[in-house]
Amino acid sequence: MTDQFSLAATITGADSPGLLNRLMAAIAELDAEVLDLEQTVVRGRLSIGVLLVVAPEASDAVEDRLAGVCARLGLALTLTEGVGDNPPRHNRAVVTVLGRPLLASHLAITTDVITALGGNVDRSRRLSRTPLTTVELWVSNAEPAALRPALASVAAGAGFDVSVAPAGLARQGRRLIVMDVDSTLIRDEVIDLLAEQAGCAAEVRAVTERAMLGELDFADSLRARVALLAGLPASALDEVRAAVRFTPGARTLVTTLRDLALSIGVVSGGFIEVVAPLAAELGIRYAHGNRLEVVDDRLTGQIAGQIVDRAAKAAKLREWAALEGLPLSRTIAIGDGANDLDMLAAAGLGIAFNAKPAVRASADTSLNLPYLDAVLFLLGLTREEVEDAAAAREVAPAASGVTRPAAPGWMGR
């Protein structure tokens, strides 16, 4: 191919069906080799970039035919000769930027960091528009390990969310997603609901807040809060199970992850008596939490067995990953409090969801939006793909018998 050269064509204009077909058909008989092709449509405006290799004697004919088709279709054509093939792209990463709204300044800040670290944005696409805008940037020549902390810092200061993940096979295939429960999978703190039943809500809530902020040792604070529940009828657990509210988008997240055949677990510093039924209802395979001691159908104010603290949560992540035959690099952890820090650090991707400041500062990425299903965008799914999956489930619903109404996420807006 030493006697051939490359030709880069950029075509822009109003979109209509069949444009790419007409362009390729015009040069089909000239033996032009396609090295690269990208096409995007933004609000009806088309942009096509195609990189061709042509023989010298065919180059004029290729140019003339492309120009003729573009003239007839009202498209603008720019041709550049001798540009060569695309160079190899190393240290590739996917940077996902989320905003409500997403501002030009947010993207300027993001790309400024990427450029400063030697990276280049090779391509981009929009994943969602409402109720938040999500844009995915494919970046080369920048280490994800360096991008993550740099982007997290500027995003927190500017009021948008950003995630960094390795590109390529590392982003595809089987994964394990492990979530916290209280204030993550569900909107409530279960111990606070139990405290309302026991008439000690104010006392328990004050200790809970201090523990979530990391000001108190979790195990000691949990024992102190549970002690206040002594004497509460065990039937109160049934009432609390009926009262808890899923976080908006929780059911959409879980059902879509199941559609993708990904493994899911929930691990909680709360109580398995509530966590296990919720996990079963959603079809979540793994569930772990503290167990309340019950004697004569009343809570004793004690925890039965080992307390699920931050170390225990991380241990469960590792245990479940081993059971699934997955390395930790293929795990995702989602949580909001100090009790989730070890789990978030151990996972391949740790997501702080509406988290306390200390958790946001240490996690790989943070989501500060009320919709748990926004996690799906970090996996590279578009809103349209998630909606299509939901529509398919409505046509052929799973025989799960679930009747509990789902909390609406962005799917319901």
- Please check whether residue 141 is in contact with residue 118, taking contact to mean a CB–CB distance below 8 angstroms: yes
Tell me the residue range of the domain where 255 lies. 177-188+235-412
The structure's pTM equals: 0.82
Query: How much is the pLDDT for 364?
Result: 87
300 within domain boundaries? yes
Name residues whose C-beta falls within 8 Å of residue 145's C-beta, 6 or more positions apart in sequence: none
* Letter string b/e over residues 87-124, b meaning 16 or more CB atoms within 10 A of that residue's CB: eeeebbbbbbbbbbebeeebbebbbebbeebebebeee
Query: How much is the pLDDT for 212?
Result: 65
Token pair of 212, please?
């979530």
273 within domain boundaries? yes
Give the helix/strand (H/E) hosting 354: none
CA distance 202 to 240: 17
Q: Which of 161, 182, 342, 364 is catalytic?
A: 182
Give the helix/strand (H/E) hosting 393: helix 383-395
CA distance 179 to 163: 17
Last residue of a domain, one of 47, 81, 115: 81
CATH classification of the domain holding 389? 3.40.50.1000
182 and 331 part of one domain: yes
Query: How much is the pLDDT for 185?
Result: 98
285 and 267 part of one domain: yes
Question: What are the angstrom distances between the C-alpha of 202 and each of 74, 152, 196?
Answer: 70, 35, 8
> CA 238, 242, 245: angle at the middle one, nearest 5?
135
Helix (H, G, I), strand (E, B) or coil at 211: helix
48 and 116 part of one domain: no
Helix (H, G, I), strand (E, B) or coil at 50: strand
143 and 292 part of one domain: no
211 within domain boundaries? no
CA distance 107 to 128: 15
Q: Is 180 a catalytic residue?
A: yes
Count of domains for the chain:
3
Token pair of 70, please?
């573009």
Q: Is 259 a catalytic residue?
A: no
- Number of Cβ within a 10 Å radius of residue 133: 18
List per-block mean pLDDT (blocks of 10 residues) for the chain, which spans 413 residues: 75 94 94 90 91 90 95 94 71 91 95 95 90 92 90 90 81 89 95 94 85 78 94 95 95 95 96 96 97 96 95 98 95 94 95 90 88 93 88 66 47 44
154 and 294 part of one domain: no
181 and 167 part of one domain: no
Last residue of a domain, one of 56, 81, 106: 81
Strands 76-81 vs 133-140: parallel, antiparallel or unpaired: unpaired
CA distance 231 to 228: 9
86 within domain boundaries? no
CATH classification of the domain holding 47? 3.30.70.260
249 and 305 part of one domain: yes
Q: Which of 36, 122, 180, 297 is catalytic?
A: 180
Residue 131: is the preceding peptide bond cis (ω within 30°)? yes
59 and 164 part of one domain: no
47 and 75 part of one domain: yes
325 and 294 part of one domain: yes
51 within domain boundaries? yes
Q: Which residues pair with 49 in a beta bridge?
A: 10, 38
132 and 277 part of one domain: no
Query: How much is the pLDDT for 299?
Result: 97
> CA 288, 260, 172: angle at the middle one, nearest 5?
100
206 within domain boundaries? no
360 within domain boundaries? yes
Query: How much is the pLDDT for 170?
Result: 59
- Please check whether residue 321 is in contact with residue 340, taking contact to mean a CB–CB distance below 8 angstroms: no
195 within domain boundaries? no
**Cα R_g (the chain), whole angstroms:** 26
Last residue of a domain, one of 81, 102, 128: 81
Name residues whose C-beta falls within 8 Å of residue 317's C-beta, 6 or more positions apart in sequence: 176, 178, 265, 267, 328, 331, 333, 343, 346, 347
167 and 181 part of one domain: no
